[in-house]
A and B are shown apart, each in its own frame.
Chain A
Amino acid sequence: MSALSSIPIRVQSMSHGTANCGNAVPILHEVRHALERLIATGEGTQIDLNAIPFGPEDEAHLLAVLGVGEVRATIDALGPTHVQETAIPGVWLIDYRITEDQRLALHLDIGDIPEILRTQRQDLDTALTTLDARLTSAKDRAQFEY
C-alpha cells in the first residue's frame, strides 16, 4: 500500500441525527429550573456535564442552544480554565483544563458569577505581604537609579 489515501475509507456523515440520542434536551430543562431558582431565591446551581452520558453530538447541541454571551475570562491555575457566560444571562460555561489542554471537567454554573472568578480569601491573606515586598523592591530600585 503506497499511501494512506489508497485506503478506501468512507467518512460517514453523522448529520442524520441518529447518533444524537437527545440527552442535551433534559439538561437544558434542568438549566431552566436552575434559572427559575436563581431568580426566585438567589440560589446557584452547578451541573457537571462529565457525569452525563452524552452522545457524540449532545455537547455541541447543548452549547449551540446556550450560545455565547458577553463575558469571557481565562484563569491560569493548574492549566487554563475558560469561563464563558452564555447568551443566557446567569448561565456560565466553565471548562477546566490541564496544561496539556486536556479537559478535567466541564461545568454549567447557574449564578451571578462563578466562584472561581472571585478573589479567594486565602489568597487575599497574602496580598499585603506580597504588595509590601514589591513596594520595598521598587523603592530600592528607585534609590539605586536616583
Chain B
Amino acid sequence: MTAKKHSVGEHLRDQGVSRRAFLKFCTASASLLALSPGLIPALAAALEQARRPSVIWLSFQECTGCTESLTRSHAPTVEDLILEMISLDYHHTLQAAAGEAAEAAREQAMKDNFGQYLLIVDGSLPGPDANPGYSTIAGVSNYAMLMEAVEGAAAVIAVGTCAAFGGLPEAAPNPTGAVAVMDLIKDKPLVNVSGCPPVPMVITGVLAHYLAFGRLPELDEYHRPLAFFGQSIHDRCYRRPFYDKGLFAETFDDEGARAGWCLYRLGCKGPSTYNACATMRWNSGTSWPIEAGHPCLGCSEPRFWDAGSFYAPLSVPTGLSSNQVLTAGAAGVLVGGTVATLARRTVETAAVSRQPVTADELEQTL
C-alpha cells in the first residue's frame, strides 16, 4: 500500500467533506497544537496543501497501552486521523493482515516511500549488546527491525515513556537490557511523546503538526514537543493556588482532600513533571488524575518507575530541609516554580540511587 499523492484538502473534498467541516477539523487541530485560534486560517491553508504521509508503526517491548490511548483519541477521531490524514501502512495491532502478509506490507511501504515515511515506535527494545531473543517480531530482533526501518524514515516519533526513555522494561534491574529509541537513533529527526500512556491528543497533535508544517515541532531537552511539554503539571494545575497558600491534603480522605487542596504532600510529582494532562485531560476531556483526587505519578519523566514511592513527597531541594520547604509553602512566600526546578533536578539525581518501594513501605505510607 502506498501513500496517496494528492493533498489532504483534495482528499477530504473527494470524501464529501464540506469547507465548514474542514474548518472545524482545523479548529480542533489548532486547539491540539496550542495554537492561537487566530492562526486557524493559516493552519487551514497549510493542511489544505499537505500530502498524506506513509506511516509505519513498530511495537516492541510495550503493553499496547499507547495504541489503546491513541484509539481513544477524540480530536481528531482516530478514524479521521488514520484513514484520512495519514496512510498507516503497518501496525501490528490495528492492521488486518498478519504473518508474512503483514511483514510484506511493511517492506513494500518502506520501499515505495523510502526517505519520506514517518516511523512511529512504541516500546523500548533490547539494546545491541543484549540478548536479542528477549523480543522479536517474525523472527527478527527489535534492534535489527528498528535499524532497517529507520534507514528510510524522514523522521521518528517515539510514543510512550518506554520508547522515549526505556520505561518499565528499562527499570531496575532491567533484565532485558532495554534501551530507549533515542539511545540508538542519532542521525534522524526524533520526537519523544512520553507518558504512560501519552495523552492521546498529543500523539495526534504531533502528527497534525507534521502534516501542517512538514516538520517536527519545537522540542525540549528530552526531545519532547514544547507545545505540550513546555510547562509543568504544577504550573498548569488548577490546584496550584492552594499550594501557593500552603493548603495541602495530608491524607486521601481528610478535610483538605475533600476541599480539593494541593496533593503535594501525598506524593504529587506535578512540580517535576512536564505534560499536558492539566489542560487536555483524559477520557474525552472529562477529567485527569489530580482532578480525580490522585497525585501525579510523573509518568512522562525519565526513570519515573525507579524514583521511589508514588506516595512519598518529592525530594526536597539540596540545602533546604523538608520543614523549611513546607513551612515556606505554608507561608506562601516560596515561589512554586523555583521549587519545581530544584526538585526536578534533585529527582533526576536521586533517582539513580533509589530503590523500588516495597508493599510494606507503601502500607506504612498510607
Interface residues of A (CB under 8 A from B): 12, 14, 16, 18-19, 21-23, 45-48, 50-56, 58, 75, 77-78, 81, 96, 98, 100, 102-105, 107, 115-116, 120-123
Given known pairs A18-B259, A21-B239, the reply for A48 and B37 (CB within 8 Å) is: yes
Contact at A53–B27, with CB atoms within 8 Å?
no
Which B residues are in CB contact (< 8 Å) with A75? Answer: 20, 24
Q: Which residue of B lies closest to A105 (CB)?
A: B31
Contact at A50–B20, with CB atoms within 8 Å?
no
Query: How far apart sit A53 and B234, CA to CA, in the bound complex (Å)?
Result: 11
Which B residues are in CB contact (< 8 Å) with A107? Answer: 27, 37
Lowest 3 CB-CB distances: which A-B pairs, in order?
A46-B37, A120-B19, A77-B21
Q: Which residue of A lies closest to B261 (CB)?
A: A18
Most buried by A among B30, B238, B240, B261: B238
Asked if B11 is an interface residue, CB under 8 A from chain A, the answer is no
Q: Which of the four size classes fits the interface of chain B?
A: 35 or more
Which A residues are in CB contact (< 8 Å) with B38? Answer: 45-46
Given known pairs A19-B260, A77-B20, the reply for A48 and B238 (CB within 8 Å) is: no
Contact at B24–A96, with CB atoms within 8 Å?
yes
Residue interface bits B19-43, CB-to-A below 8 A is 1, else 0 = 1110111011011001011101000
Contact at B238–A115, with CB atoms within 8 Å?
no
Interface-lining segment among B146-154, B277-285, B303-311, B353-361: B277-285
Contact at A104–B18, with CB atoms within 8 Å?
no
Interface residues of B (CB under 8 A from A): 17-21, 23-25, 27-28, 30-31, 34, 36-38, 40, 74-75, 77, 236-242, 258-261, 278-280, 284-285, 291
Contact at A21–B27, with CB atoms within 8 Å?
no
Which A residues are in CB contact (< 8 Å) with B25? Answer: 78
Contact at A22–B20, with CB atoms within 8 Å?
no
Partner of B27, one of A16, A52, A55, A96: A96
Q: Which residue of A lies closest to B239 (CB)?
A: A21
Which A residues are in CB contact (< 8 Å) with B20? Answer: 75, 77, 116, 120, 123
Which B residues are in CB contact (< 8 Å) with A122? Answer: 19
Contact at A50–B241, with CB atoms within 8 Å?
no
Contact at A115–B237, with CB atoms within 8 Å?
no
Partner of A104, one of B37, B74, B242: B74
User: A48 to chain B: closest CB distance in Å?
Assistant: 5
Contact at B23–A115, with CB atoms within 8 Å?
yes
Contact at B23–A50, with CB atoms within 8 Å?
no
Contact at B31–A104, with CB atoms within 8 Å?
yes
Q: Which residue of B lies closest to A100 (CB)?
A: B74
Contact at A105–B23, with CB atoms within 8 Å?
no
User: A74 to chain B: closest CB distance in Å?
Assistant: 12
Partner of A47, one of B19, B37, B258, B279: B37
Query: How far apart sit A105 and B27, CA to CA, in the bound complex (Å)?
Result: 7
User: A52 to chain B: closest CB distance in Å?
Assistant: 7
Which B residues are in CB contact (< 8 Å) with A45? Answer: 38
Contact at A51–B238, with CB atoms within 8 Å?
no
User: B232 to chain A: closest CB distance in Å?
Assistant: 12
Which A residues are in CB contact (< 8 Å) with B291? Answer: 56
Which B residues are in CB contact (< 8 Å) with A78? Answer: 17, 21, 24-25
Query: How far apart sit A122 and B41, CA to CA, in the bound complex (Å)?
Result: 14
Query: How far apart sit A54 and B19, CA to CA, in the bound complex (Å)?
Result: 31
A-B contact pairs, 10 of them (CB 8 A): A46-B38, A51-B31, A52-B279, A54-B238, A56-B260, A78-B17, A78-B21, A104-B74, A105-B31, A122-B19
Q: Which residue of A lies closest to B287 (CB)?
A: A56
Which B residues are in CB contact (< 8 Å) with A98? Answer: 74-75, 77
Which A residues are in CB contact (< 8 Å) with B34? Answer: 51
Query: How far apart sit A81 and B26, CA to CA, in the bound complex (Å)?
Result: 14
User: A88 to chain B: closest CB distance in Å?
Assistant: 18
Which A residues are in CB contact (< 8 Å) with B30? Answer: 48
User: A87 to chain B: closest CB distance in Å?
Assistant: 22
Contact at A22–B31, with CB atoms within 8 Å?
no
Which B residues are in CB contact (< 8 Å) with A23? Answer: 238
Contact at A77–B18, with CB atoms within 8 Å?
yes
